[in-house]
Amino acid sequence: MSAADPSPSNAASERFLPVYQPDLSGNERTYVMQAFDSTWISSRGEFLDRFEAALASQIGTPYVSAVCNGTAALHIALHCLNLQPGDEVIVPSFTYIASVNTIVQAGGVPVFAEVREADWLLDADDVRRRITPRTRAIMAVHLYGLACDMDRLPEIAAEAGCVLIEDCAEALGTKWRGRQVGTFGRVSAWSFFGNKTVTTGEGGLVATTDPALHRRMAIVKGQGMDPDRRYWHVELGFNYRMTNIAAAIGLGQVERLDDILLCKRAIAARYRRLLAGSGVTFQAASNAVESSEWLVSLLLPRGVDRAYVMQRLARNGIETRPVFYCAHHMPPHYRPDLRLPISEDIAARGISLPSYPVLSEADINRVCTSLMEALGPRKWLSD
């Protein structure tokens, strides 16, 4: 039977497959109840210390500070660079909007750069072309679990005398030449939103090897209060603290990170195997990258109506989502004269598929069958 035109009864009988859902089958509930019973449910408590220590060990950096979300992590990193009016930060236009918004919120000017066709990540050659005397930082965004070129971008930043910031919101477990991303720049920002490889519900982290920067970010996230003198505020700050309850969830997640990554890599490999020859193009990692496979994303063939394909899958109970739109096309950051053809093409054709760790082989088969039938003419899976 073909699913090319599913009846309502067929769609209703199938289990809904979201793009993502967290696996909370470890110690998350136990730790949350321990935090609850302790009454330390706000921004102090043992699970904050334990979660930060676990992430510092996982990332491989000595200084980390948990915050309330990934956007706050980016903002506090940029804020503590003391951007001045006119200071430029080179950033891909093809990224989640927080990467760009936080530059403006910290007082900087985003300079949009092109991405590479194969891996959809920041093009080092284009970054070099966009360096000016006003360039203060380069933001390397490791999208969808892949890694930017961590050979060339740190080198370019050093030559230009600017700071390298790593946006690792989607890259926990991603390695460049065996080394976890987030350890190549001066500071890195992480997200633990509900759809991330490790989740705290809402949450984030800033990491650095610079003890002075770490101390300042820890002060600024807590309203600028001096840690040695309560209610004495030494500088302008924000309320960006993580709660002990959120950290309790996160600790249960980090304990199982290796198993989660193993599942996600197997899921991505199965998608690639089953969709080989279907006409879609996957985001491709270089040989230097070990991807966390956060979100399996691909490009539909040129000329295919993305909205139609996504609607067809939705009728079969399968959620998909478009990849990110280019920031330079959006009203807050509109650049009418800027052309980034690779970024624009990816943004127009890309979709992300269900990618959560408890997907079964049958679930993945179902997604692939539905996608190929939506692309038409009829094609059948052979495993």
Residue 95 identity? T
3-state helix vs strand vs coil in the chain, percent to 5: 40, 15, 45
- Residue 1: the pLDDT is 28
- Mean pLDDT in residue range 35-45: 95
Query: Considering Cα of 287, then 288, then 290, then 292, what sign does the dihedral take?
Result: negative
Q: C-alpha distances in angstroms, 269 versus 160, 165, 310, 372?
A: 39, 30, 22, 17
| C-alpha pair distances (Å), 371 with each of 20, 138, 365 | 17, 37, 10
**Mean pLDDT across 23-29:** 97
Higher pLDDT, 6 or 254: 254
Averaged pLDDT, 198-204? 98
* Banded model confidence at residue 381, pLDDT cuts 50, 70, 90: very low
Q: Residue 213: is its pLDDT beyond 50? A: yes
Is residue 276 domain-shared with residue 155, that is, in the same domain?
A: no
pLDDT at 383 > cutoff 60: no
When pLDDT is cut at 50, 70 and 90, the band that residue 13 belongs to is low
Lowest mean pLDDT among 30-34, 139-143, 250-254, 374-378: 374-378
Q: What is the pLDDT of residue 377?
A: 66
Q: What is the pLDDT of residues 320-348, one digit of tens each?
A: 999 999 999 999 999 999 999 999 999 99
Residue 301 main-chain phi, psi, to 5 deg: -60, 150
Report pLDDT for 380.
38
Question: Residue 317 region, left (φ>0) first, then alpha (ψ -120 to 50), else beta?
Answer: left
In angstroms, rounded to a whole number, what is the distance separating the alpha carbons of residues 325 and 17? Answer: 23
Do both 103 and 250 map to the same domain?
yes
Number of helices and strands in the chain (H, E): 13, 14
Q: Are residues 48 and 167 in the same domain?
A: yes
Classify 286 as helix, strand or coil: coil
Does residue 11 have a pLDDT over 60?
A: no
d(CA 260, CA 253): 9
The answer to whether residue 344 sits within a structural domain is yes
Residue type, 263: C
In a domain, 98, yes or no: yes
- The tokens describing 165, both together, are 């910031």
Name the domain count of the chain. 2
* Domain span at 182: 28-254
Q: Which of 254, 272, 298 is the last residue of a domain?
A: 254
In a domain, 1, yes or no: no
Q: Are residues 99 and 185 in the same domain?
A: yes
CATH (domain of 350): 3.90.1150.10
In a domain, 383, yes or no: no
Residue 92 preceded by cis peptide, ω within 30 = no
Residues 135 and 199 in one domain: yes
User: Are the beta carbons of 309 and 361 closer than 8 angstroms?
Assistant: no
Q: Could you tell me if 173 and 50 lie in one domain?
A: yes
Residues 290-305 have pLDDT tens digits of 999 999 999 999 999 9
Of 295, 270, 250, 280, residue with least CA distance to 26: 250
What tens digit of pLDDT does each residue of 65-87 get?
Answer: 999 999 999 999 999 999 999 99
What CA–CA distance (Å, rounded) separates 140 from 165?
6
What is the chain's alpha carbon radius of gyration, rounded to the nearest angstrom?
21
Report whether pLDDT(319) > 60.
yes
Query: Is residue 15's pLDDT more than 70?
Result: yes
Decide if 296 contacts 271 (C-beta within 8 A): yes
Q: What's residue 14's pLDDT?
A: 83
